Amino acid sequence: MECKFQPGDAVRVVERNQPGHVRTPQYVRGKEGVIERVVGSFPNPETLAYGQSGLPYKMLYRVNFAQKSLWPDYDGQPDDSLEIEIYEHWLEPA
Amino acid sequence: MSDHHPDHMHATHTHDGKPIQNDDRPPIKAETLETAVRELLIEKGVISAEEIHRAIEMMDEKGTELGARIVARAWVDDDFKQRLLSEGDAAVREFGVDMRPTELCVIENTDDVHNMVVCTLCSCYPRAILGIPPAWYKRRDYRARAVREPRSILTEFGTSIPEDKQVRVHDSNADLRYLVLPQRPAGTEDWSEEQLAELVSRDSMIGVADIRGPGE
């Protein structure tokens, strides 16, 4: 399965309101990060959770975000970061 | 229930003589659904009540010992450590662990980076390695605060991270399960793998604690 993004690519999480079993938490939607690694393809949880096949599989990435970009009032250190798994259909180039 | 005195099985009064009140909250929809599906599966002979009980018992009894052994092996065997970091699933298979359908992602604490794990969406946890997650791991306050004020959480766990060390939080929100490879404490250079495994705590493998060496 082809992947649209490579490690180091700048990406933005799609800002979309979608009901149902969604694995993209609100706090990263619309936020910009960098692809940390390509994890591989997995069944789509958004349909799998409802007894369907989860097909077609979705490419999954680990995305790194600077904490400062997630929380403007973050009071840790400037280098602190957060990594989270995001499916390809929730990512766009930044 | 063999650890209960038979009289207590059907007790209607507490030790101080008051009638027992049912103070459980009413079941949520998912619990009712689980009960219904479980009863149907048993009734139709797909699985037996005993099999369910045995599976629960196995999960309950699973401690964090396996995780500690994996960490200790990584400390003494650099080839294993490299495999663990690059292909976690294959590496832990050597310990008889099957991570499927999830994948294991091992993250290493270093002099420059401290890693900690949370699942903001529910309570995803490397159960195959660490057993059942601690109650605090599933609580809303840990899940909400770990991603936005990790340093405060770490302080509350008694873990002080120097300002020049990066804190990296991992939200276990999808198909990976995370195991933190803590730093091997100083003063353990001569220790055996078995001795080292004794040192490795559950919380250090979730990343909310460091491991103290001898005399620390």
Q: What is the pLDDT of residues B154-206, one digit of tens each?
A: 999 999 999 999 999 999 999 999 999 999 999 999 999 999 999 999 999 99
User: Chain B interface, mutation test: which of A80, A87, A88, most B Cβ atoms within 10 Å?
Assistant: A80
Token pair 């195991």 in the structure block, residue: B179
- Cα-only R_g, chain B: 21
With CB atoms and an 8 Å threshold, state whether A42 touches B171.
Answer: no
Q: Which of A77, A60, A1, A37 is nearest to B106 (CA)?
A: A37
Choosing among A21, A38, A42, which should be mutated to test the B contact, i.e. which has the most B CBs within 10 A?
Answer: A42
Q: Which of A75, A82, A85 sits opposite B147 (nearest CB)?
A: A82
With contacts defined as CB-CB under 8 Å, which chain A residues touch B170? Answer: 82-84
Residue B6 has what pLDDT?
A: 46
Interface contact flag, B103 A40, Cβ < 8 Å: yes
Nearest-Å Rg of the Cα atoms of chain A is 14
DSSP letters along B91-155, please?
HHHTTT---TTSEEEEEE--SSEEEEEE-SSS----HHHH-SPPHHHHSHHHHHHHHH-HHHHHH
- Quote the CA–CA distance of B21 and B15 in Å, as a whole number: 13
> In this complex, do B166 and A80 lie within 8 Å of one another by their Cβ atoms?
yes
Q: Which of B148, B168, B172 sits opposite A81 (nearest CB)?
A: B168
Let me know: does B168 contact B113? Beta carbons within 8 Å. Answer: yes
Distance of CA A59 to the CA centre of its chain: 10
Q: Give the closest residue to B119 by CA, choosing from B102, B99, B155, B144.
A: B144
- The pTM for the full model equals 0.88
Cβ–Cβ under 8 Å, residues A30 and A13: yes
For the domain spanning A10-93, the CATH number is 2.30.30.50
CB contact under 8 A, B171 and A74: no
**Can you tell me the distance from the alpha carbon of B15 to that of B195, in angstroms, rounded to the nearest whole number?**
44
Per the document, the length of chain B is 216
- Which residue on chain B is closest to A83 by alpha carbon? B170
| pLDDT given at position B215 | 75
Using a pLDDT cut of 70, give the percent of chain A over it.
100
Contact A85 B149 (CB under 8 A): no
Q: Note the pLDDT of residue A83.
A: 98
Quick: pLDDT tens for A16-62.
Answer: 998 889 999 999 999 999 999 999 999 999 999 888 999 999 999 99
Residue B144: pLDDT over 50: yes
Mean pLDDT of all residues belonging to chain B: 91
* Residues on chain B touching A67 (C-beta within 8 angstroms): 148, 169
Q: Closest partner residue to A79 among B148, B166, B174, by Cβ?
A: B166
- CA separation for the pair A19, B74 (Å, rounded): 42
Contact B174 A85 (CB under 8 A): yes
Least Cα distance to B127 among B61, B193, B183 occurs for B61
Structure tokens at B114: 């401290």
The conformation of residue B86, written as its DSSP 8-state character, comes to H
The residue extents of the domains of chain A are: 10-93
Distance from CA of A84 to the nearest CA of B (A): 5
What integer pLDDT is reported at residue B19 of this predicted model?
72
Residues of A in contact with B103 (CB under 8 A): 39-40
Q: Where in chain B are the domains?
A: 18-61, 65-206
What number of other Cβ atoms are within 10 A of residue B118's Cβ?
A: 28
Pairs of CB atoms within 8 A across A/B: 72
What positions of B carry a catalytic annotation? 119, 122-124
Mean pLDDT of B57-75: 93
ipTM value for the complex: 0.96
Residue with the bigger pLDDT between A41 and B62: it is: A41
Percent of chain B at pLDDT > 70 equals 92
Quickly count: other Cβ atoms within 10 Å of residue B3's Cβ: 4
pLDDT at B180: 98
At residue B2, the pLDDT reads 43
> Across the interface, do A25 and B173 touch by the CB < 8 Å criterion?
yes
What is the predicted pLDDT for the residue at B160? 92
* A29 in contact with B, Cβ within 8 Å: no
Lowest mean pLDDT among B61-65, B145-149, B212-216: B212-216
- Write the CATH number of the domain with boundaries B65-206: 3.90.330.10
* Chain B nearest CA to A81, separation (Å): 5
Query: What is the rounded CA–CA span in Å between residue B81 and residue B78?
Result: 5
CA–CA distance, B88 with B109 (Å, rounded to integer): 16
Model pLDDT, residue B153: 97
